[in-house]
Amino acid sequence: MTLLGSIGSAVFGRWLATTGLIWLALVAISAVAAPLIAPFDPLEINPIERLSEPAPPYLFGTDHFGRDTFSRAVYGARMASIIGCGSVLVALFAGGLCGMLSAYFPQLGHVLMRVVDVLMAFPALLLALVLMTLLERSVINTVIVIGIVYAATTARILYGMTLKLKGEVFVDAAICTGAGHSSVLLRHIFPNLISPLLVQASFVFAFSQLQAAALDFLGLGLPPEVPSWGNMLAEERIYITRAPWLLIFPGALIILTVFSLNLVGDAIRDAIDPRFRGDIAGV
């Protein structure tokens, strides 16, 4: 079976993972088509309707500025996707390249992997906090900071895997037939790293959601006016008693998204590594 085929059957073979994938598709659709789906402008303030309960036309109620929570949640999906995809890109590109090259060129690896060690000496959120202190609150900075934090982990995983692959016979064979470094790396080693990279992508995406929400909550993530699920929770937390829906909806959206990502990531990992087949919520 092809790689894609086995991953597909692993994900669709489990109803939980399939449900997760459907949820992620919904998030992606909301992200792309946010202006079409959201009935109101997510920033439109309407003091008369403030803190109204969930009922049409406000499906998820309104917040303390009278903004429509449903519309904000839909735009929040857009932010979640931007943060997730951006962090995955930064982490996988920087970390993946660093790990691969370090394992393939040991002398370069001596230097690069020490840099990775130093980055990993800082607990994730603390590193993100310190970096955010030095930067302005913005979407791009949040993406870069979370990406850097997970680039180190990605580099370490890819380093180990490339090192293993480098010792394989097919790599020796390629070198013996006169393949250059770039050919060995791109045509012989990299294809074997695609599936671990996919697994890593799903976990980095999941972690980025939790980290971004934590940064927003601490007031050090996205600018406060950006409608993100983390900002919605941060802004409305004092209304937890008066208007519980303001915290339930964004919270549930984060949990569902992270849970789905973990389910799909697990399913892909199991497809690659038969040792795990049948494990962890494999129903």
Give the CA distances from residue 195 to residues 21, 88, 190, 201, 273, in Å, rounded to whole numbers and listed in that order.
Answer: 17, 14, 10, 10, 10
Q: Does 223 bind another protein (CB under 8 A)?
A: no
Least Å distance, CB 75 to another protein, is: 19
DSSP states of 218-234: TT-SS-TTS--HHHHHH
Question: Which span (80-88, 101-109, 154-162, 230-238) binds another protein, by CB under 8 A?
Answer: 230-238
Give the footprint of another protein on residues 250-269 (CB under 8 A).
Answer: 251, 254-255, 258-259, 262-263, 266
Distance CA 45, CA 66 (A): 5
Q: Does 224 bind another protein (CB under 8 A)?
A: no
Question: Which span (45-53, 57-65, 185-193, 249-257) binds another protein, by CB under 8 A?
Answer: 249-257
Distance CA 265, CA 279 (A): 13
Q: Does 240 bind another protein (CB under 8 A)?
A: yes
Distance CA 109, CA 132 (A): 28
Which CB, 164 or 277, lies closer to another protein? 277
E-state strands within the chain = none
Distance CA 229, CA 249 (A): 9
Distance CA 140, CA 153 (A): 21
Show the tokens assigned to 241. Answer: 């008693």
Q: Which residue in 97, 175, 210, 272 binds another protein (CB under 8 A)?
A: 210
Give the residues across from 68 on adjacent strands.
62
Q: Does 114 bind another protein (CB under 8 A)?
A: yes
Q: How many CB atoms lie within 10 A of CB 278?
A: 9
Question: Which span (37-45, 78-86, 138-146, 236-244) binds another protein, by CB under 8 A?
Answer: 236-244
Q: Does 233 bind another protein (CB under 8 A)?
A: yes
Q: Does 107 bind another protein (CB under 8 A)?
A: no
Which CB, 199 or 233, lies closer to another protein? 233
Q: Does 242 bind another protein (CB under 8 A)?
A: no
Question: Which span (47-55, 57-65, 100-108, 239-247) binds another protein, by CB under 8 A?
Answer: 239-247
Count how many Cα atoms sit within 13 Å of the Cα of residue 49 in the half-sphere of its side chain. 18
Q: Which residues bind another protein (CB under 8 A)?
A: 16, 114-115, 117-118, 121-126, 129-130, 132-134, 206, 210, 213-214, 217-220, 230, 233, 237, 240-241, 244, 247, 251, 254-255, 258-259, 262-263, 266, 275-276, 278-281, 283
